[in-house]
Structure 1
């Protein structure tokens, strides 16, 4: 990596932590700068040296420096990117044609050998990128401008899988013999990553050789700012143009015209233990469902910056509500007789312990006796998965890396699911999920997913309470920042900062 260099934004944000009372005036040097670099304050620093084989891949994607073969539209369907078209050529194989005349930032050309190299490195990595969990994938060249990708088992979602930022295509110079992947100067997007300063900052410059629309901004100056108060201050003082994940507590302190709430594919859900304890009985699970006041949670814990849940899949999946059918609960609720519920959650997400307090009050009012358990996630996950609690509050991502919710539903609600906190095992639900997983992406698959959701909700094994939003800050003179529920995109070629705010 290059020698240490602290960006102006990083310096200003560090000072903000010490000068919390001095935010009345924006930094004049930054404000009057003619540089059209976008200044971005991000929540989390890199955890794995910005290798695309880790979750750091999503930073490279949000900066538009590393690109994938395909991208997803709002419905989660695959659209062309570095691949222009694809077709299934066998039960387990797909052929993808590559976009011509694509150059990487190091000047080399996109070709089949480069794509094969990137996919092979990902497939052989240890640990594998999360998108390839349980997937055996191989790639071979089919001439100079096409590749054939084969999986050990039929995978109707392979094009969607290839959209994951963890399967970004970098030039061959990115990959070293030691296994280190360096994304500097090796992407193909409209911005070239030129400098990374550890976990403090990064700098990108406009890539004039980009195959698509040239970037309107001259570059991006990134600072990693884990402290939420400092991120809010950066927007308020004008020292950042775009700010990730402003905390709910900071939002009321900011100009409301500068903050934008983006629905997340994340549902705050109460899982009930269907195998052990008092929640084995469906009538008491129904009583829990009827006792929950979702609106109170949204209003008091999330300060109205969340959406009351109607199902497991929320507004971040715009097709879900249209296809959802009323749930026919087979068992009526029984009035509790002071049965004791052990209600557990974790402290890593600040809102969850507060949700637990409100839920305990609601369940107590309904006639239950409630015992609360709150620990750090690393100390509670094993017990939750072992069924040691009657009820568990979880903030759960419902759309994983392929952009499709079947993996989440299978993990959480199938007999062999690896994250089955509810201890649920119903053959009819397994069959519904298997049917959905075998259908190619499209309307038929979406309908099958919603039928499976309906069957899961009918058991009251999981009671969805609310869908979370993320708050994104944008300065008044920023144009065309992206507000992506999947958090894959943020800045693209069209994003820019005008010289003067309106």
Structure 2
């Protein structure tokens, strides 16, 4: 299908849901869809942001990203390894069933079963105990001072609803398995799911029985994926949609110059990076047979130093990025500016490293990349491929929609890939545990898809989790990051900027983690 025909189809979809939209309907477009309504099936921001309006965790976030009571009204440590959560009373799920401690025990256990993509959020929990219907204790394997932060994107489902609908386990995105929770939803949040048409349209309506305050006036939210940048921008400027994300960096000035829309631009906490298969003895997708070149640090360093990150910032990102040497960015606890020093861009040094490693002519390797997830993701990968060609590396670029991309790389069916990560705790430990730690079957390293492993790094990560002295903890994080930098465990690229397009009649709250809360949206009548 041609791009033109796709644009016509997307325009027809927009017209279909625009007709009859009232003043309190807000129409939201994103370059990609939420891949499932199951809140435990994919640890990805678009999906978690969308489902956060239907489901809630024990702990939430305020507009300034500070912690806020949600399904728990309060929490405290009753011992070094036990947290007690007082649960909110008189809360109902959307089907009318009451919320109790049983739902919390069920949901936290559900995040640890096969198919869950949220294991790294709860892998340090030893046991969850019911004290009574509205009090639970969570015991961790070691002291875990940031447990409440860790639970902000771990959403609570109805135990009875899941049992009645044969959805006691999350859908497995790696295997393409679906169940009722993929297309239906039953949370406690401020909005209910009314209609789900994957990759076409998802409609939410205000929950009249919501326990909390809904500050905005939006009665209905229509979420539509529009993959084509030009179509998405045109829909915003014509007034067919009210909010869109992301605004292509080259269109920010155009949007701001329009009569009816504006671009909200701010730093994002996400880090974009490259990962390499460092486990297999032979890469799955490479011209090198009988060995794995990424096991050689010289090859990893050559790739790093061959990438012109300032060129990518200027030509691909239009200066809407912040190059980084660390796997976390400013705003994340543990980030140290004096440690944020990239290896120099030096193709000649990179060529020598390749020759020293036994690859003077380079080699071929496939690079997996999404084309509808991050800001200019496919273009970044194209630029990386061009850079690497200068040292003899031929990149076979496999750019695809995130609907097929994520299942593939989450199976570790990749040799070289691009990924982004926002630590939900806004603390370095989250990235260390989920992205950089050696994978185990409990959730550590769940998104370390190239299986970088360093035992000393893992030892420090475990110590960081339980350390309560801030100065000691900061020093440990610094030490761990230095180990990872010295190993070139991954190749960090940059932190991208948020760019939301918003109709001037609409007020939204732009969070630094790229979540969009419908309860804070107001449409001027």
Instruction: Give the deviation of 1:147 after TM superposition.
Output: 1.4
Assess, with a 3 A threshold, how the Cα gap between structure 1 residues 244 and 455 changes in structure 2: closer, same or farther. Answer: same
Q: 5 Å matches for 1:56-455?
A: 58-62=48-52, 64-72=53-61, 78-90=67-79, 92-120=81-109, 122-123=110-111, 125-131=113-119, 134=123, 138-150=127-139, 156-165=145-154, 167-170=155-158, 172-173=160-161, 175-179=163-167, 180-181=180-181, 186-197=186-197, 199-229=199-229, 230-248=231-249, 251=252, 254-255=255-256, 258-262=262-266, 263-269=268-274, 292-315=307-330, 317-322=331-336, 324-325=338-339, 336-337=351-352, 339-342=360-363, 344=365, 345-349=367-371, 350-360=378-388, 364=390, 368-375=391-398, 392=416, 394-400=417-423, 404-410=427-433, 413-414=436-437, 426-439=454-467, 445-455=473-483
Query: Which is higher, the Rg of structure 1 or of structure 2?
Result: 1
Contact 2:25–2:221, Cα closer than 8 Å, also in 1: yes
Unaligned residue ranges in structure 2 (runs of 5+): 168-179, 282-290, 372-377, 400-404, 440-444
SS of 1:141's equivalent? strand
What TM-score does the superposition give when structure 1 sets the normalisation length? Answer: 0.74
1:407 is displaced (CA, Å) by 5.0
* Residue of structure 2 equivalent to 1:478: 506
Structure-2 residue corresponding to 1:5: none
Q: Give the unaligned 5+ runs of structure 1.
A: 1-13
CA contact (8 A) 2:332 2:428 kept: no
Distance (whole Å) between structure 1 residues aligned to residue 362 and residue 125 of structure 2: 42
C-alpha contact 1:175 1:182 (8 A) present in aligned 2: no
- 1:233 is paired with a residue of what secondary structure? helix
How has the CA–CA distance of structure 1 residues 15 and 82 changed in structure 2, closer, same or farther, with 3 Å as cutoff? farther
Work out whether residues 65 and 511 of structure 2, in 8 Å CA contact, stay in contact via their aligned partners in 1: no
Corresponding residue number in structure 1 for 2:177:
none
Tell whether 2:495 aligns with 1:495.
no
Q: Deviations over 1:155-187 (max 9, x none)?
A: 55432332224x234484465252244896843
Figure out how many residues of one structure are paired with residues of the other and give that number: 463
Deviations 1:407-459 (A, max 9, x none): 54356555666766777555543433332233359675455323311332234
Q: 1:346·1:352 contact (CA, 8 Å) conserved in 2?
A: no
Q: Aligned Cα RMSD in Å?
A: 4.6
Tell me which residue corresponds to 2:29: 41
Which of 491, 496, 508 is 1:468 aligned to?
Answer: 496
Instruction: Sort the Cα spacing of 1:438 and 1:232 in 2 relative to 1 into closer, same or farther, 3 A.
Output: same
Task: Tell me, in whole angstroms, the C-alpha distance in 1 between the residues paired with 2:127 and 2:362.
Answer: 49
Does the 8 Å contact 2:93/2:188 carry over to 1?
yes
> Distance between the aligned counterparts of 2:521 and 2:29, measured in 1?
15
Alpha-carbon distance in structure 1 between the residues aligned to 2:99 and 2:522: 27
Pick which of 399-408 and 450-459 moved more.
399-408
Query: In 2, Cα distance between the equivalents of 1:129 and 1:335?
Result: 36
Contact 1:194 1:204 in 2 (8 A): yes
TM-score, scaled to structure 2: 0.71
